[in-house]
């Protein structure tokens, strides 16, 4: 029998493979290989309630992937890196991620971390950075993203956002929630982000 994480992994790969703007190949190496599944204790989060609204607004390209995620949300392991002490209670109630692949996720990898991020409405995820380089692809919803000292910019579903190693980035949502997929490589894959603008804006 196919498990929920296995179905999600297949849909995740298909979505990435069909993007009109390709993700750099170094992020995709290894993603297509058979992966060892972990037996993890399920964990749910308050922010999962946003998934129905997100699915309702999804473009055709990501609708199947998001519906799969929404329908199986209770069979997955959701996580939070921060606490209310970092960004407040509203942030914690409206934020969460699912590591599908990685050093602690549903499928084992020491080379790449991949999964999903949810931000509810009215969330500001302040400037932070980490050693791994990162790709975000918004799947549905609306958000603005800022890189380095730049301005906040709206990115559309299906667009590829790249954050080089140790370059600050921030996100904020307005009236709509956001669902994005992420990929991490080239650094510690379970590192807690440093919450501050990076000293060197190297991009």
Interface positions with Fe ion (CB under 5 A)? 134
Q: Alpha-carbon distance 100 to 198, whole Å?
A: 28
Are 66 and 180 a contacting pair, CB within 8 Å?
no
List, edge to edge, every strand of the sheet that includes 124-128.
124-128, 169-172, 144-147, 153-154
CB nearer to Fe ion: pick between 19 and 194: 194
CB nearer to Fe ion: pick between 62 and 193: 193
Sign of CA dihedral 1, 74, 51, 120: negative
CB of 132 to Fe ion, least distance (A): 8
CB of 131 to Fe ion, least distance (A): 11
SS3 10: helix
CB nearer to Fe ion: pick between 23 and 68: 23
CB nearer to Fe ion: pick between 54 and 135: 135
CB of 183 to Fe ion, least distance (A): 10
CB of 136 to Fe ion, least distance (A): 8
Are 202 and 167 a contacting pair, CB within 8 Å?
yes
CB nearer to Fe ion: pick between 99 and 134: 134
CB of 193 to Fe ion, least distance (A): 6
SS3 52: helix
Q: Token pair for residue 137?
A: 């692809």
Are 110 and 175 a contacting pair, CB within 8 Å?
no
Which residue's C-beta sits nearest to Fe ion? 134
């Amino acid at each position: 029998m196919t498990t929920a994480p296995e179905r999600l992994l297949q849909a995740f790969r298909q979505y990435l493979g069909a993007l009109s703007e390709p993700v750099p190949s170094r992020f995709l190496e290894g993603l297509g290989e058979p992966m060892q599944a972990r037996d993890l204790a399920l964990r749910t989060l308050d922010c999962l309630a946003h998934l129905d609204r997100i699915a309702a607004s999804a473009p055709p390209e990501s609708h199947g992937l998001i519906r799969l995620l929404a329908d199986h949300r209770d069979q997955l392991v959701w996580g939070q890196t921060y606490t209310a002490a970092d960004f407040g209670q509203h942030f914690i109630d409206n934020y969460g991620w699912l590591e599908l692949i990685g050093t602690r996720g549903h499928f084992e990898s020491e080379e790449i971390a991949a999964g999903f991020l949810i931000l509810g409405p009215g969330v500001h995820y302040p400037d932070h950075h980490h050693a791994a380089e990162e790709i975000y692809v918004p799947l549905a919803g609306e958000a603005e993203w800022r890189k380095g000292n730049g301005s906040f910019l709206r990115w559309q579903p299906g667009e590829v956002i790249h954050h080089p190693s140790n370059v600050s980035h921030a996100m904020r949502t307005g009236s709509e929630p956001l669902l994005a997929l992420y990929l991490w490589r080239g650094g510690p894959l379970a590192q807690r982000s440093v919450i501050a603008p990076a000293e060197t804006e190297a991009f």
